[in-house]
Amino acid sequence: MKIFSLLLFIFLFLKSSLCANEKANSEYRKYSQTCMGTKFNLLIDEQNILLSNNAAQSAFKEAHRLDKILSDYNSNSELSILSQNSGSPDSFSVSDDLFYVLACSQELAVETEGAFDITIGPLSRLWRIARFKKVLPTNEKRSNAQERMGYQNLKLDYGRKEALLLKSGMVLDLGGIAKGYAADRMFTILMEQNVTRFLIDAGGDILLGNPPRGKAGWKISIGGKKHPDLPNLVLANVAIATSGDLEQSITFSGNTYSHLINPKTGIGLTTMAQVTVIAPNATQADSLASASLVLGSKEGIPFLEKKPGVRAFFLEQKDNETVLQKTKE
């Protein structure tokens, strides 16, 4: 559920299809495919054309494989089938990929006391309809959706790698973590094929390999809401993700509600804020950005400062002024 909030200087002219015939004198080889309902871009600094093309094909193949597992839009995905079995007394055996993402999500849910909650599916679907119809969900509908939520109602058996959804009608939504995990898996595939200098853009979640030849790192500009003190970054071997409530919103009775929902209140965020998180991997960056936006800067900054290797930039609208806050260096 991320906005496309990272603008990359080097990505301004990306082609829109997987490119197998990039000009030999191009600085980087550029690839792009649609996956998980968004655009995945891949930039590779590699002189060997065949090696680059094969590695890119393998990386995108992995992303599409994961989409069939983690999507809540595809009724035949493994995630959707798990949700369809909600309320059953029997645990559901899941794949290693799905179990890992569920486990990471539950760990973060506990740490944030529900600010990050993948059982938010009933509310997510309700607010999708609201944005389409431009009508605010009623209190009754929100209450009904919240009754079918709660991370405490998702039980995991770590030994058997099984999941159990205790309440009937529960729907899991991995929109705040799935693209990050897909980027991490693409990273692994590329490294296994000895392609080490690359940039992955999974719908705005960025994961960086080694720096391009002759450079200190990849130049990244934080997009979305602007602030003069937001830095231009030069990074390598880290992930960066931005979450914000500045897009995909609905305005009703003078109030603007984000597509990003507070699981505790059942209401779209109204803070007009965004947070950018830099973390060791994309699964972490993606999920921490989502969680931190719900927590807000007051709780989010101290929470993130406890995470090794994590930095963050918060932008919040306060009294017609955009205020920048960040974690300690």
Main-chain phi, psi angles of 138, to 5 degrees: -70, 160
**Residue at a domain's end among 96, 131, 165:** 165
Query: What's the CATH code of the domain at 250?
Result: 3.10.520.10
Alpha-carbon span 60 to 34, nearest angstrom: 9
**Statement to judge: residues 65 and 212 lie in one domain:** yes
Report if residue 190 sits inside a domain: yes
**Statement to judge: residues 16 and 61 lie in one domain:** yes
> What does the block give as tokens for 304?
């993130």
Report if residue 170 sits inside a domain: no
pLDDT, tens digit only, all 329 positions of the chain? 444 334 444 433 333 223 333 333 357 999 999 999 999 999 999 999 999 999 999 999 999 999 999 999 999 999 999 999 999 999 999 999 999 999 999 999 999 999 999 999 999 999 888 878 878 888 999 999 999 999 999 999 999 999 999 999 999 999 999 999 999 999 999 999 999 999 999 999 999 999 999 999 999 988 777 788 888 899 999 999 998 855 556 677 677 777 788 898 888 787 778 899 999 999 999 999 999 999 999 999 999 999 999 999 999 887 778 889 999 97
> What does the block give as tokens for 80?
């959707």
**Residue at a domain's end among 143, 165, 187:** 165
∠ CA 181-183-184, rounded to 5°: 65
Report if residue 105 sits inside a domain: yes
Give yes or no for a contact between 219 and 206, defined as CB atoms under 8 angstroms apart.
Answer: no
Report if residue 33 sits inside a domain: yes
Task: State which residues form the domain around 236.
Answer: 6-70+176-326
**Residue at a domain's end among 165, 195, 230:** 165
Alpha-carbon span 239 to 262, nearest angstrom: 24
Q: What pTM was estimated for this model as a whole?
A: 0.90
Give yes or no for a contact between 80 and 229, defined as CB atoms under 8 angstroms apart.
Answer: no
> What does the block give as tokens for 309?
């290797």
Give yes or no for a contact between 125 and 259, defined as CB atoms under 8 angstroms apart.
Answer: no
Report if residue 256 sits inside a domain: yes
